[in-house]
């Protein structure tokens, strides 16, 4: 089975009430169109995961990010490929998160994480992200 290495940004911020939030995007293309995910993309040859993530977020959202610690690496089998996804905490350095490839986006508090239909690979990360939102406000 083909293995695809990807990276995902769990971009965090704080709302006006001081609650931690993360940024979720709705996929606007392909077989998984309409599903919610963390923004990111494929690691290109010669790139580190952190370099790939910075490039992808600039391409997809016109935003410069600071990539922080690795949360987890998710291994997931889709019908036609195996995905290995490195997921990092990130913060916005500069930019407004302009949607260039996604259909929609939302900032979600911990309580709102279950309000969107996550893609299968991202589902496995939601509980961990929710738990860590308490410890990484």
Q: Assign residue 50 the CATH number of its domain.
A: 3.90.79.10
Stated pTM of the model: 0.90
Task: Please report how many Cα atoms fall inside a 13 Å half-sphere around the Cα of residue 120, on the Cβ side.
Answer: 10
Residue 24 structural domain: 2-135
**Residue whose C-alpha is closest to residue 23's, from 12, 31, 32, 34:** 12
Q: What would the pLDDT profile of 90-117 be if each residue is shown by its tens digit?
A: 999 998 887 776 678 999 999 999 999 9
Q: How many domains does the chain have?
A: 1
What integer pLDDT is reported at residue 101 of this predicted model?
A: 67
User: Is it the case that residue 16 has pLDDT exceeding 70?
Assistant: yes
Across the chain, mean pLDDT equals: 90
User: Is it the case that residue 37 has pLDDT exceeding 70?
Assistant: yes
What is the C-alpha to C-alpha distance for residues 19 and 104, in angstroms, rounded to an integer? 22
């Amino acid at each position: 089975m083909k293995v695809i290495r990807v990276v995902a940004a769990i971009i965090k911020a704080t709302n006006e009430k001081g609650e931690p939030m993360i940024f979720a995007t709705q996929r606007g293309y392909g077989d998984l169109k309409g599903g919610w995910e963390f923004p990111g993309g494929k690691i290109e040859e010669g790139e580190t995961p952190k370099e790939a993530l910075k490039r992808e977020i600039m391409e997809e959202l016109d935003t410069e990010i600071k990539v922080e610690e690795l949360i987890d690496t998710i291994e997931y089998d889709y019908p036609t490929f195996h995905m290995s996804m490195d997921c990092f905490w990130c913060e916005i350095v500069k930019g407004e998160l302009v949607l260039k490839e996604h259909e929609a986006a939302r900032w979600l508090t911990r309580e709102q994480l279950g309000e969107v239909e996550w893609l299968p690979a991202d589902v496995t990360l939601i509980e961990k992200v929710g738990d860590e939102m308490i410890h990484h406000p």
